[in-house]
Amino acid sequence: MVTPALTQKVAARSLAPGTRRILTIGSLLLLALIVAYMEQPSFSSYYRRIVNVAFIYVVAAVSYNLINGIAGQFSLGPNGFMAIGGFTTTLLMLPVARKAQVFFLEPLIWPFNSFSVPEVLHGFFARLIPHAALAAFLASNLGFLISLVGAGLVAALGGLIVGAPSLRLRGDYLAIATFGFGEIIFVLANNLIPVTNGALGIRDIPEYANLWWTAGAAVMTVWVIQNLVNSSYGRALKAIREDEVAAEAMGVHVFTHKLLAFVVHAFFAGVAGGLLAALLTTISPSLFTFFMTFQLLIIIVLGGLGSTTGAAVTAVVYAILQEVLRVVEAPMSIGPLYIPGVPGMRMVVFSGLLIVLMLFYRRGLFGRAELTWEGLQAVALGLGRRFGASPRERGR
């Protein structure tokens, strides 16, 4: 077993930077092989959809953990940023002809009614590249990348506008202010018909999001957030989380650091919203209610506030459990007892888990710990000693 002494001994012999780099590259190559296998047409589209959703949850939850777990600022507005990102991506990606069909109640406002990023790029590449299929491939993928980055930037601008006044508040007051922002975005999305098509939403969005995009976005989000956390900027955020007054006395500009964390979180939440819209091929305001924030809150609390690893792992587990627990919402018979299906019962199970965790294990599954190569080495050595030891030694 992994003893504290063994962990300290392994930690003292930390891996060389070159070894870590090789292990990281190997892990990324393994992930790429898994993605390539799952992207084959013969692979189940149902399981592929679950993994796609899991990776989108990773993007949203890891960025949400930056402001809630690392910086210690209780925000309840990621659903608003995801809505901004989702609608921005849709308006940039949807073909012009399709926009004219969808917005039949009121016409779409300029300039979104006059261009589509992939169509503009396709015209550009068609003049440069004689191969039509390659030009179309470059136009669609580069157009999607530009749309996602644009969605993140618009969401980040929203985060700057909301965060500048609201981050002067603390605790419950900040939570109420950000909750109000999410509700404002929801109401605006329902009533700004020339932009969002109102409650009808927008259908038949081209399905650009696949596992390459969602997995790539998840890896990039974890890499960016974890590097921020391990930098001096991240240490300042942790100091703010522990004691704002003490952090300010030590020279940390509290408001600037909180605002930057809020804007970074908004950027990645916008990207997650764009990926979700391009995966589901439909978007409506009802997709981004407070329920979305509640799901992300469950993920980061169950994973352990302040742990990027916890947020990422729990996001994947949560996406899988969402499908596994569909059985509790279906009608069932236990002997003579008939139990009708109860929609939403899955969330009752998740909420029950959250209550149990808060009562008996408040630090969550990972606490504030992170998965490291040294930690994995300690586990491997512990297992090796355990199973490699003689029966008499194992009995001690």
One digit per residue, pLDDT tens: the chain, 396 residues? 445 555 555 555 677 888 888 989 999 999 999 999 999 999 999 999 999 999 999 999 999 999 999 999 999 999 999 999 999 999 999 999 999 999 988 999 999 989 999 999 998 988 888 888 899 999 999 999 999 999 999 999 999 999 999 998 888 899 999 999 999 999 999 999 999 999 999 998 989 999 999 999 999 999 999 999 999 999 999 999 999 999 999 889 999 999 999 999 999 999 999 999 999 999 999 999 999 999 999 999 989 888 999 999 999 999 999 888 888 888 877 777 787 777 778 888 888 888 888 888 878 888 888 888 877 777 777 777 766 655 555 555
CA–CA distance, 390 with 353 (Å, rounded to integer): 39
pLDDT given at position 21: 86
pLDDT given at position 340: 77
Is residue 194 a contact partner of residue 106, using CB atoms and an 8 Å limit? yes
CA–CA distance, 230 with 236 (Å, rounded to integer): 10
CA–CA distance, 69 with 312 (Å, rounded to integer): 13
What are the distances in angstroms from CA 150 to CA 144, 146, 198?
10, 6, 22
Classify residue 332 by its DSSP letter: E
pLDDT given at position 362: 79
Q: Which residues of 60-73 are buried (b: 16+ CB within 10 A; e: fewer)?
A: bbbbbbbbbbbbbb
CB atoms within 10 A of CB 161: 13
